[in-house]
Amino acid sequence: MSSTSRLPMLIEPESLQAHLADSAVLIVDLCDPASYAAGHIPGAVHLAYSELIRVKPPAMGLLPTEDYLSQVFSRLGLTPEQQVVAYDEEGNGRAGRLLWTLAALGHERLSMLNGGIHAWDAVGGALEAQFRHPERRAYQARFANPEAIADRDYILSRLGQPDLALLDTRTTAEYTGADVRAVRGGHIPGAVNLNWTDAMDSQRQLRFQPDPVLREMLEIRGVTPDKEVIVYCQTHHRSAHTYWVLRHLGYSRLRGYPGAWSEWGNDPALPIET
């Protein structure tokens, strides 16, 4: 890969195979440790999902500090110029959280492996069991792209604005308040619901649904590219996947809310709908 070229934001397994030996590409595996040890994409380094989140109860999925992320990505051997390709074994929610975090840091070369490790297996992709210990680098994490992040105060300031779309990616039961996972059930006022798994094709190893299907799902909910879209779930795990769906589709005004329902639903001062 030349210094000027980059991989697509959503890469197919067949395309990734040509870049396994490319030092300009860092493949990051966010599978469970046992899955990684049993077999992973050759050259992939392992990252535990827990290293991408900061827990401050009741908010369970906040962004870590810049210093902490600097240590994590330095240990992975990441450099600012590298292309990151992320995948996992559970629909790419963890992979999406990594890519969203890097997007917030202003890291530009980012890709999700469509379908994750299951799609890789389905096309006969090679696996290795060797644990990779990457050479440590000095990665300085700075939130250079704060426009990728929404906090509760930002959302409060935008509620009711006609150019805002709030997209709740939890289950319908969570959205309506039938399934309560905080002090209060329900959703942020004005939010529309799209269960994150509806964007996945269960017949194709949980790859993204075809673009026209995804666009229709979003547009019938009023989530259109002309609006600013804020995605959330319970901890910005599921909604990080949806963030990448929207990035892939070309949505340009896009934020993830890491506080998510674990923060909003547990704060009696914040408005809700059911």
Q: Which two tokens stand for residue 171?
A: 């289950």
Question: Which residues sit opposite 168 in a β-bridge?
Answer: 193, 232
Contact 215, 226 (CB under 8 A): no
Q: Which two tokens stand for residue 45?
A: 């380094």
Contact 91, 117 (CB under 8 A): no
Q: Is the peptide bond before 162 cis (omega within 30 degrees of 0)?
A: no
d(CA 153, CA 144): 19
Q: For 19, phi and psi rounded to 5 degrees?
A: -120, 15
Q: Is the peptide bond before 58 cis (omega within 30 degrees of 0)?
A: yes
Q: Which residues are catalytic?
A: 233
Phi-psi category of residue 105: left, alpha or beta, with phi > 0 → left and psi -120 to 50 → alpha: alpha
d(CA 242, CA 167): 9
DSSP state at residue 256: E
